[in-house]
Chain A
Amino acid sequence: MADVLLKGIKKSYGPVDVIKGVDIEIKDGEFVVFVGPSGCGKSTLLRMIAGLEDISGGALEIGGTVVNDIPASQRGIAMVFQSYAIFPHMTVRENVAFGLTIAGASKAEKEEKVAEAARILQMEHLLDRRPSQLSGGQRQRVAIGRAIVRKPEVFLFDEPLSNLDAALRLDMRIEIGKLHKSLDATMVYVTHDQVEAMTLADKIVVLKDGYVQQVGAPMELYHRPENLFVAGFIGAPSMNFLDVEVVGKDGDSAKVRSDLVAEFAAPAWREGVPASGRATLGIRPQDLRPVDSGGVLSGNVTLAERLGIETVVDVALKDGTRVLCSLAEDRVFEPGQSIALDFDNDRAHLFAPEPGRQKAAA
């Protein structure tokens, strides 16, 4: 087991910078998830930790040793790929034992370690099959088995569940969570699926365009997103954003209003929120509730999606701005019906005005 330290990590392909200076501290035994949209550099970052990509700048430490120039096989890591990367011509047993075969381990040692991995993953009955006879979930299990047998200091997962269907994804997600608890190993996990990130992670790293946007525990990211990107990325449906005017600021509270929003006091703890002038107000769909009279926002229902456990209402405000409201109940709304929405002031988020602001790493 080991901790992983990324200090000012950079990656460029020729003139193109992909990772633009990333600092992350991953503690021993921690489950860290890199999450972000396609092309944010999360997979590249993982491959750099694995040793499959050269590091253009900065230092990568695993267990206190700088490993920038140490080959992948000697970094004490194991990796599970999105495409499983199991060898099609070998049986499950041979696949799981591959690393041991390469290292020239004895037959008895292989038997023992493969049996142990198979027991952990409950796939003893699959050992003599070939990959072509396995389902996607079973293949990924084999890939994880191959990783376990290596007894790595750090497990790396590169979107391991993306090729699986929804039901299987849930099962495997739970299994990976269990695996982390039972092995107590450091795990770094890349995904674009925020549900995986929220459920598995001890710590989430949100990446965008090669920069870290925010690092924190899942609920910290959900309740206190530091910027517009994190606020919009974490949570489903996405947070609603409205342009507002700050008319007065008093400590961590700011009075805001706009043509659409009646004046109210919003929490303003984020840096960059101006004392006066334009800002962006964010409200989660779950924090909005319809009210019979009054309400901060008002408009007409354009669409209501009833999912049984929740109802997602698409509301067009007076000037056509759309906001989503998610109610934790089954309720009927008619399209065109007028609706007034309210929310608790302290659940509102106030952001500095420029959208898509990036937080550059020092």
Chain B
Amino acid sequence: MASKLTRSNRAGWLMAFPGIGLIAAFIILPFFLAFAFSLTNQRLASPNPTEYVGFKNYRDLLGLAVFTLEPERDDAGNAVVEDGEIQYPRLRTFTRRNPDYPHLEGKREWFSWQSGENRTVVLASDVVFMKALVNTFTFVLVVAPVQAGIALGLALLINQKLRGISFFRAVYFMPVVVSIVIVSLLWKFIYSPGDGLLNNVLSGLTFGAFEPRDWLGDTSTALGSIIAMSIWQGVGFHMVIWLAGLQTISPTLYEAAEIEGSSKLQTFRYVTWPGLRNTAILILIVITMQAFALFAQIDIMTQGGPLDSTQVLVFQAVERGYGKQDISGGSTISVILFVIVLCISLIQRWLTRERN
């Protein structure tokens, strides 16, 4: 007799349908559509027919070139200097319809540096995308270790048997329960220029010596401000995961270490940390994924500004796909993000593999 599970096939599929259907419609289908769109010139709404364009979208995003500008020279062959600065030909003379430099066509300056008399310029097809890429990596590289570290510290603190410890557990976990949108709005007030909370507190602590600043409106502080706030918001979640990991470590291991005269630091090194290995892998991967998906904070607090200093990949994808109706451009960014996250996950898995 067939088992009940295989006999009631139709009922089973019927019950699974709502779930599978929603996942298919909103996750699986868009996932493959993004790959397809990234190879076309599809727009969100356009009367023109969609055309296959190959990897043009990728070239438009990832195109890079390095170009060395030589200074303008006078008749004697010396560099022309005006007001103490060496004069160079205008970059656009090379990048705009110059048949001698087809690889520079349409590219713009991303950054440059001086080497001797010459100036080396790195040009990008899409400077905004490049900034988003760098900002996203900066965000991930700062948030992953710092957030994981603080979360572990908090977990060690609240793992003690003290009276009222649940109060602290609740306090640290609270930001996680609050929607990121609300948190972002609140922090916008905290960061607001002039008499915002942060400015007030800082000038209070320094007896007025601190100059109030526009935290989100300044290119040097905007990304840092968003990083700080994001770490604060997510740290409670990872603290709970660490805590779960800590509580799987057998108390007798600590007692054995105590009898051997192990100091607090040695106990952490030889008992706690090795026992948290799997938890650490999980947390690192989860934080990395979450950090790459950074969007809501940017959308609410800075919209990528000022001067693209807080542009990030997901925000760019949404901005392009819906803001500029360039759905193929947005899809291309999504695919690139997917490949980046995939590579990093594989590398992390390889680095943290069980060595036996």
Contacts and interface: CB of A to CB of B under 8 A. Distances in A.
Contact of A73 (B261, B270, B275): B261
Given A89-B274, A102-B266, A130-B356, A83 B259 contact: no
Given A87-B274, A89-B274, A98 B253 contact: no
Say which size band chain B's interface belongs to.
10 to 19
Interface stretch (A74-82, A210-218, A232-240, A321-329): A74-82
Contacts of A77: 259
A83 B275 CA distance: 16
A101 B269 CA distance: 12
B261 A79 contact: no
A89 B354 CA distance: 11
B252 interface: yes
Contacts of B258: 51-52, 71-73
B252 A83 contact: yes
A50 interface: yes
Interface in A64-100: 71-74, 77-79, 81, 83, 85-90, 98-99
Contacts of B255: 52, 79, 81, 85
A99 B356 contact: no
Contacts, number: 64
Contacts of A73: 258-262
A72 B257 CA distance: 10
Interface string B239-270: 00000000000101101111111110010001
B271 interface: yes
A209 B297 CA distance: 62
A224 interface: no
Tell which of A74, A85, A130 has the most Cβ of chain B within 10 Å: A85
Majority DSSP secondary structure for residues of B touching A:
helix
Contact of B261 (A87, A103, A146): A103
Nearest to B274: A89
Interface string A86-124: 111110000000110111000000000000000000000
Interface in A29-71: 50-52, 71
B252 A81 contact: yes
Contacts of A86: 256
A150 interface: yes
Contact of B253 (A51, A79, A85): A85
A58 to B, nearest CB: 21
B290 to A, nearest CB: 28
A87 B259 contact: no
B277 interface: yes
B356 A87 contact: no
Contacts of A51: 258-259
Contacts of B277: 89
Interface residues of A, number: 26
Contacts of A103: 261
B261 A50 contact: no
Contacts of B259: 50-52, 72-73, 77-79
A334 B90 CA distance: 116
A98 B257 CA distance: 8
A130 B271 CA distance: 15
A87 B270 contact: yes
A153 to B, nearest CB: 13
Interface string B343-356: 00000000000001
A85 B252 contact: yes
B253 A102 contact: no
A81 B256 contact: yes
A150 B260 contact: yes
Contacts of A78: 259
Contact of A85 (B256, B263, B270): B256
A89 B259 CA distance: 19
A333 to B, nearest CB: 48
Nearest to A81: B252
A99 B260 CA distance: 5
Nearest to B254: A85
B256 to A, nearest CB: 4
Contacts of A81: 252, 255-256
Given A73-B261, A102-B262, A102-B266, A79 B274 contact: no
Given A85-B250, A85-B252, A102 B274 contact: no
Contact of B250 (A83, A90, A98, A101): A83
13 contacts: A52-B255, A52-B259, A72-B259, A72-B261, A79-B255, A83-B252, A87-B256, A88-B275, A89-B274, A89-B277, A90-B274, A102-B257, A102-B263
Given A51-B259, A72-B258, A102-B262, 5 more contacts: A72-B259, A79-B255, A81-B252, A87-B271, A101-B270
Q: Which 9 A-B pairs have the closest CB atoms?
A: A73-B261, A89-B274, A85-B256, A85-B252, A99-B260, A72-B259, A102-B262, A81-B252, A102-B260
